[in-house]
Amino acid sequence: MSLVKPLPIAHTLRALAWLLAYPDADHRAALPALRDALHAERALTFGRLAEIDRLIDHLMDRSQGGAPLAVEAEYVELFDRGRATALHLFEHVHGDSRDRGPAMVDLERSYLEAGLLLADGELPDHLGVVLEYASTQPPAAAREFLREFAHILQNLFSALLQRESIHASAYAGVMAALLDLAGEKACAVALPAQPGIDETWSEPAAFGGCSSAGQAQPIRLQRRPPQGARA
């Protein structure tokens, strides 16, 4: 009896991380290569790849149409103007509480132990950075790691859909793709009213309707035991 080897997902995770970064000129120039990498690895379904293609097409069309600054402004408006769509994961777990600082330190320590260094200005809990870390892990470990914060991905997916814009729904496809890789089903859930980015954060009630419902679960980074070692 042979075991099925997990499909590789490293290139897919790195491509999705790149898509979630600020779309400056260098990032926009890499979009065709990202598309090729996603289709070559085939870690996502054809339907999900089509959704990611629509995001890439949108970013490229806006850039080539003489509106590169509009692309960057849309990104800022979407991800930096409120916590519901914030890409910094600890915004959804700790908010402005004192627990956020130690959690950031622990996360950065995990990166250092894996031999990864943050670039200047990078925060360890940004989803793109977290995905870069996940891409360095074996496929099974990477998928398990994604499951640890699938509840936040579900939150982001739902919040993006609520924006009811082509730009937001295109980015929702990235969250849905990550949920697929985590073995979770992307589904829109009811979100509580969100305070403004400068208001006091209070944790919402748990979501319903999905197996990964709820926001209060912490992100846990667990080092994979050496091969052959017992847990």
> Taking the domains of the chain in order of start, what are their residue ranges?
10-181
Q: What is the pLDDT of residue 4?
A: 55
Q: What three-state secondary structure class fits 64?
A: helix
Cα–Cα dist 210/202, whole Å:
22
Query: Which of the listed ranges 14-23, 84-93, 118-127, 160-169 does the model predict with the highest average pLDDT?
Result: 14-23
| Tokens of residue 148, six digits | 């640890």
> pLDDT: is 60 or 100 the higher one?
60
**Amino acid identity, residue 220?**
R
| Tokens of residue 170, six digits | 């295109």
Q: What three-state secondary structure class fits 155?
A: helix
Which residues have C-beta within 8 Å of that of residue 186, sequence separation ≥ 6? Answer: 154, 157, 175, 176, 179, 180
Taking only the tens place, the pLDDT of each residue in 76-113 is 999 988 889 999 998 887 666 676 778 888 888 888 88
Please state which of the ranges 20-34, 71-85, 183-197 shows the lowest mean pLDDT.
Answer: 183-197
pLDDT band (50, 70, 90) for residue 220: low
> pLDDT: is 80 or 40 the higher one?
40
| Tokens of residue 210, six digits | 């999905």
Residue 152 pLDDT more than 60? yes
Report the predicted TM-score, pTM, of the whole model to 2 decimal places: 0.81
DSSP string over 68-120: HHHHHHHHHHHHSS-STT-SBHHHHHTTTSTTHHHHHHHHHHHHHHTT--PPT
Mean pLDDT confidence for 162-178: 91
Cα–Cα dist 84/86, whole Å:
6
Q: What percent of the chain has pLDDT over 70?
A: 77
Tell me which residue of 82, 74, 75, 77 sits closest to 194, measured CA to CA: 82
pLDDT band (50, 70, 90) for residue 156: very high
Angle at 166 between CA 163 and CA 169, to 5 degrees: 60
Q: What is the pLDDT of residue 81?
A: 83
**Amino acid identity, residue 158?**
S
Query: Which of the listed ranges 5-14, 67-76, 112-121, 149-158 does the model predict with the highest average pLDDT?
Result: 149-158
Residue 231 pLDDT more than 50? no
Cβ pair 134, 24 in contact under 8 A? no
Cβ pair 185, 16 in contact under 8 A? no
Residue 229 pLDDT more than 70? no
Residue 228 pLDDT more than 50? no
What end-to-end distance do the CA atoms of the chain give, in Å? 24
Instruction: Give the distance, in angstroms, between the CA of residue 218 and the centroid of all CA atoms in the same chain.
Output: 16
Cβ pair 104, 90 in contact under 8 A? yes
Q: What is the pLDDT of residue 102?
A: 82
Q: What is the pLDDT of residue 193?
A: 65
> pLDDT: is 114 or 172 the higher one?
172
Angle at 134 between CA 183 and CA 197, to 5 degrees: 90
